[in-house]
C-alpha cells in the first residue's frame, strides 16, 4: 500500500536544499531610508492613505487611534511607513527596521547572488547593494 512505501520520519527530517546560486531583481533595500526618494512621493503617499487607511479606518482606529492620526498626517512614504509600525506589532520604527530591514542580514548570505538593479531606481538606492 501507499502507507507502506511512505516513511513519515524521513519526511520530517529532510534537509533543506542547498542552492548554488540565486538572482534578485529589484532586490530588498534599506527600508529605513529609501522611501522618501520616490519622485512621485506625494501622489504615492496619498494613494497608500486612500487604499490602506481610509478603506480600513474603523478597524485601524480600534487598534491604535493615535497611529492612524500619525499615518494621516504623514507627508512622505517614509513617514507613513514609520508611523505604521504599530500595526506590525512594533512600538517604534527603530525596532521594526532592526528586525525587518533586509540590509541588516545581507552580509550573512553565503550563496552567490546576481543582483539586477537600475542605478537610478527611485526606491532601491544602488549604494545599498555594495
Q: What is the pLDDT of residues 4-60, one digit of tens each?
A: 555 555 556 778 777 888 887 766 677 777 666 666 788 889 999 999 999 999 999
CA distance 124 to 5: 49
C-alpha cell at 8: 513519515
- Whether residue 2 has pLDDT greater than 60: no
What is the three-class DSSP state of 9?
helix
Can you give the pTM of this predicted structure? Answer: 0.69
DSSP state of 78: H
Nearest residue to 106 (alpha-carbon basis) of 130, 78, 85: 130
What is the three-class DSSP state of 65?
helix
Burial class, 6, CB count within 10 angstroms (exposed 0-12 / middle 13-18 / buried 19+): exposed
What is the three-class DSSP state of 114?
strand
- What average pLDDT does this structure show over 69-81? 93
pLDDT for res 99: 92
Residue at grid coordinates 474603523 = 58
Amino acid at each position: 500500500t501507499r502507507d507502506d512505501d511512505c516513511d513519515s520520519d524521513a519526511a520530517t527530517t529532510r534537509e533543506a536544499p542547498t542552492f548554488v546560486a540565486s538572482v534578485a531583481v529589484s532586490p530588498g533595500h534599506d527600508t529605513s531610508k529609501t522611501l522618501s526618494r520616490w519622485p512621485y512621493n506625494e501622489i504615492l503617499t496619498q494613494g497608500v492613505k486612500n487604499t490602506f487607511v481610509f478603506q480600513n479606518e474603523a478597524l485601524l482606529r480600534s487598534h491604535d487611534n493615535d497611529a492612524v492620526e500619525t499615518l494621516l498626517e504623514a507627508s512622505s512614504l517614509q513617514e507613513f511607513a514609520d508611523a505604521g509600525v504599530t500595526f506590525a506589532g512594533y512600538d517604534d520604527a527603530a525596532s521594526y527596521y532592526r528586525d525587518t530591514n533586509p540590509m541588516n542580514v545581507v552580509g550573512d548570505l553565503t550563496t552567490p547572488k546576481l543582483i539586477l538593479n537600475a542605478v537610478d531606481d527611485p526606491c532601491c538606492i544602488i549604494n545599498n547593494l555594495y
